[in-house]
Structure 1
Amino acid sequence: MEAQRPRLAPIQVTELNLDGPDGAVLSFGPAMSGGGGSASPGASPGASRGDVYALVRLRGRPVATVVCHVPPGKNAADVVAVAARAQLAAADRSGHLGGRTAEGPAAVSDHDLPRTSVVVATRERADQLARALDSLLAQDHPDFEIVVVDNAPATGATQDLVEHKYADRVRYVRESVPGLAIAHNRGIAVADGEVIAFTDDDVVADPHWLTALTAPFAADPGLGCTTGLILPARLGTPAQILLESHGGFAKGFAPRSYDPARPPADEPLFPFTAGSFGSGANMAFRARVLRDIGGFDPATGTGTPARGGDDLYAFVSVLAAGHRLRYTPEALVWHHHRETWQDLKNQAYGYGAGLTAYLTALLVRRPALLPALLRKLPRGLAHARTITAHREAATAAVPGAHGAQDYPWPRHLSRLERRGMLAGPLGYAKARRRVRGVPLPWSPPQGGRQT
């Protein structure tokens, strides 16, 4: 087992802001420093050496990531800029340059942005939470609140942090029943925003994140949900590098809308390919729509035997109710991937379990979807199995893109993911028994019912 672990050197995560494909470098430096990629105090454009993973921005907008090697004695900004311009030029010629498509976001004034509640569910990770809250409090959105939901706490660390350091700026709510979906539902119950955004305690949000994530709601009254771009905050361990090199959480740099009235031709399994829509660390819902669908299924998500699937269930439920979903890459958060090999193994198993748990939840709670789901389910499960098999054969995009070294997705991680798929329905059944009788923390819509 030990021999299957790739030996990888840390990769520096940076940002490069260009004026245009052939323009000047406006800024280059460590990621997450704010201000669209400006270097942090004491950093210099030539400070990076070795393998570099850079977010590329055009006039401040995220449009690509580039991976390159900075040789000793070379200026990192120059090396990364050359690689970035070549990649952007190729994408522009092929018509796949994200951020410059006709689907770009409509201009929305600050006055039109909806009042928003940001919900962060957490459990016993006060240090990480503080980092996330600092970034959320720096958002350029003009009208928002932050709600921290402390899920089944074992200590008073989270409450002490919020009440002592963020007393007048963050609301603290306790939810004693364990489970991410249950914690999110508690946040929905107390939120006062027209839009409710969700992120995790292990992210750092770009200062423009909340504005970009919520502006589409003002532009489209039929929109029920938005998701955004998730990039790695650090690539310091083999587990972090391996996860990011084989997909990570990013969904690309081209904005996209999903409309149930016009199913996308390139997704025959729509809307059950919910994993392509986004992830729970970066999502927002129109509050009325989210409450109308019953919120998140409490028998799904981290902290339950189902292990995941809460976000996927919500995405499909919004689409099934006739609302549109939009992915917008300008809504950026930096995610701290788990660092250890055991974390990666747990994540692989959890992905598989969450996938089939969410499909089971749809069968149980939304029987009207049953004919379409059963019709597409065999292809969906075959597709999921193909993905894990493809990972085993594929070489890494990070850092293999510049020829440093190539390595496949370890077979035992694929086996863990498949084992999770088999366990997901049973895990959901166990979780459902545990939460039976737990009421929604808000009144369901008239004529609606809770199952």
Structure 2
Amino acid sequence: MESTPLGPRPAELQVTELDLDGPDGAVLSFGPALPGGPAVRGGDVYALVRLRGRPVATVVCRVPPGKQPADAVAATARAKLAGREPTAPPGDNALGDDAPGPQEPRDAGRLEGDLPRTSVVVATRERADQLARTLDSLFAQDHPDFEIVVVDNAPATSATQDLVERKYGKRVRYARESVPGLAMAHNRGIAVADGAVIAFTDDDVVADPHWLTALTAPFAADPGLGCATGLILPARLRTPAQILLESHGGFAKGFAAREYDPAHPPADEPLFPFTAGSFGSGANMAFRATALRDIGGFDPATGTGTPARGGDDLYAFVSVLVAGHRLRYTPEALVWHHHRETWQDLKNQAYGYGAGLTAYLTAVLARHPAMLPSLLRKLPRGLAHARTITAHRDAAGAAGPGGHGAQDYPWPRHLSRLERRGMLAGPLGYAKARRRVRGLPLPWDQRARPQGDG
């Protein structure tokens, strides 16, 4: 058996989903979460559990040889959902042990006639094959009125433009942003977009068909909403690096909808709004276009592709809240994310998370200096939070029935050290990045759009 930093190589988990309905938990459907995926066979399975279509939990179980996979997963799901109340904060659950949130009647269908015109922005760089998979999932959305904008960031080849023109034609708007950086690419998307709401996702996700409707319905219901985020689950769990990341929280923020209101700060988050990582992630977010433009869009000195390494999404979340808008997390807005596959990928990601965290805090203070007194008041607890933001992964979590929980695979200390090193480097990285982009106008303030705008 191959050896890995986790010890013996863990078995691949087959990612799938099933839907339960009725008081006795009858199985309505069971199949691969991703279009065209292989049929589920015996072995370890990671499954999203839906209740009447609504995501409520994830489970991990082992399907014995010869047993129907649907029966095995349904039995595990029924046992888990029976009388279970959420006890852990979002993101603190181990792989396969996400507690279901309180169930509210789905209201997205009632609001579909009122859904705002939406622009979906996908920033990409030299990943045409992955991008095609993402775009295909966007064309399967049940939202009645949206456009797709692809932003080609500092391209080295014409592969992305060729893909868009050959396969999608006028159905996808193509824009080029020559300055590298995810925030720069997102700002170019803001300039091109014509929707009242602008949604963002990455080129390594597959969007659930109901994603865009669920993500944008809250804007129709709440005129004071500035931002919405959604649930991110793993599309594949094939490698030890992917399993380790997901076993310690991954990108998921739980199955309970939550609203963040700056007029009524949450009592259970004393560092609000500085703990922006709990609000959501950049692979699944949407903004009211006027609110996003009013705050100046994304800080171009943050994000992947800059010395800051990340933090562009966190900066935008906090800036929208500081401007007085509400933010809502809604787990019905689901995308499946392709986690990085190798140990080197995971090491780079750990360092980038640390750097992005402190870079975004630096950006907030640089652009919102009035927040400094509030941060100073919260600084002692903030420093404690910074020290524990990586250590929480070291805590043992409850493993799923088939194993593969946090207690099976402790978070390697060298990854925690890399995150802390990133935290130390983040402010300097932001300063370097800011010098590079100083003087650049916001794209929507330019009179002429760049070559390549579609």
* TM-score normalised to structure 2 length: 0.91
Structure 1 unaligned spans of 5+: 34-39, 445-451
Report how far residue 41 of structure 1 moved: 8.5
Report how far residue 127 of structure 1 moved: 0.1
1:166 aligns with: 168
8 Å contact kept, 1:49–1:72: yes
With over 3 angstroms needed to count, the CA separation of the structure-2 counterparts of 1:399 and 1:433, relative to structure 1, is farther
With over 3 angstroms needed to count, the CA separation of the structure-2 counterparts of 1:405 and 1:375, relative to structure 1, is closer
* SS of residue paired to 1:442: helix
With over 3 angstroms needed to count, the CA separation of the structure-2 counterparts of 1:397 and 1:291, relative to structure 1, is farther
2:307 aligns with: 305
2:216 aligns with: 214
2:287 aligns with: 285
User: 1:107-157: CA deviations, max 9, x gaps?
Assistant: 643220000000000000000000000000111100000000000000000
Tell me which moved more, 73-82 or 270-279. 73-82
Q: How far, CA to CA, are the matches of 1:170 and 1:395 in structure 2? A: 43
User: Mapping of 1:230-309 within 5 angstroms?
Assistant: 230-309=232-311
Q: How far, CA to CA, are the matches of 2:37 and 2:383 in structure 1? A: 49
8 Å contact kept, 2:302–2:311: yes
8 Å contact kept, 1:352–1:418: yes
With over 3 angstroms needed to count, the CA separation of the structure-2 counterparts of 1:42 and 1:350, relative to structure 1, is closer
8 Å contact kept, 2:398–2:405: no
1:432 aligns with: 434
2:67 aligns with: 74
8 Å contact kept, 2:315–2:364: yes
8 Å contact kept, 2:59–2:400: no
1:49 aligns with: 42
1:411 aligns with: 413
Root mean square deviation of aligned Cα: 2.1
With over 3 angstroms needed to count, the CA separation of the structure-2 counterparts of 1:327 and 1:42, relative to structure 1, is closer
8 Å contact kept, 1:146–1:170: yes
Q: How far, CA to CA, are the matches of 2:383 and 2:401 in structure 1? A: 30
8 Å contact kept, 1:354–1:421: yes
User: Mapping of 1:102-251 within 5 angstroms?
Assistant: 105=107, 108-251=110-253
8 Å contact kept, 1:246–1:397: no
1:383 aligns with: 385
Q: How far, CA to CA, are the matches of 1:55 and 1:42 in structure 2? A: 16
1:315 aligns with: 317
8 Å contact kept, 1:56–1:63: yes
Q: How far, CA to CA, are the matches of 1:403 and 1:108 in structure 2? A: 38
With over 3 angstroms needed to count, the CA separation of the structure-2 counterparts of 1:358 and 1:273, relative to structure 1, is same
Report how far residue 19 of structure 1 moved: 0.7
Larger relative contact order, structure 1 or 2 (CA cutoff 8 Å, min sep 6): 2
1:59 is aligned to 2:61: no
8 Å contact kept, 2:243–2:404: no
1:447 aligns with: none
Report how far residue 295 of structure 1 moved: 0.3
User: 1:218-275: CA deviations, max 9, x gaps?
Assistant: 0000000000000000000000000000010000011010001111111111111100
1:90 is aligned to 2:75: no
Q: How far, CA to CA, are the matches of 2:363 and 2:300 in structure 1? A: 10
8 Å contact kept, 2:399–2:405: no
Q: How far, CA to CA, are the matches of 1:66 and 1:30 in structure 2? A: 14
With over 3 angstroms needed to count, the CA separation of the structure-2 counterparts of 1:138 and 1:272, relative to structure 1, is same
Residue type of the alignment partner of 1:109: L
Report how far residue 416 of structure 1 moved: 0.3
Q: How far, CA to CA, are the matches of 2:196 and 2:67 in structure 1? A: 50
With over 3 angstroms needed to count, the CA separation of the structure-2 counterparts of 1:181 and 1:94, relative to structure 1, is closer
Report how far residue 392 of structure 1 moved: 2.5
Q: How far, CA to CA, are the matches of 1:396 and 1:181 in structure 2? A: 37
Aligned residues: 433
1:448 aligns with: none
Report how far residue 193 of structure 1 moved: 0.2
Fraction of identical pairs, as percent: 83
Q: How far, CA to CA, are the matches of 2:404 and 2:418 in structure 1? A: 30
Residue type of the alignment partner of 1:132: T
2:350 aligns with: 348
1:4 aligns with: 5
8 Å contact kept, 1:21–1:88: no
Structure 2 unaligned spans of 5+: 89-98, 447-454
User: 1:48-106: CA deviations, max 9, x gaps?
Assistant: 2111100000111111101111122222111110110111113259897425148x656
* TM-score normalised to structure 1 length: 0.92
With over 3 angstroms needed to count, the CA separation of the structure-2 counterparts of 1:269 and 1:21, relative to structure 1, is farther
Report how far residue 178 of structure 1 moved: 0.2
With over 3 angstroms needed to count, the CA separation of the structure-2 counterparts of 1:321 and 1:86, relative to structure 1, is same
With over 3 angstroms needed to count, the CA separation of the structure-2 counterparts of 1:344 and 1:158, relative to structure 1, is same
Q: How far, CA to CA, are the matches of 1:404 and 1:180 in structure 2? A: 31
Tell me which moved more, 13-22 or 429-438. 13-22
Q: How far, CA to CA, are the matches of 1:403 and 1:426 in structure 2? A: 36
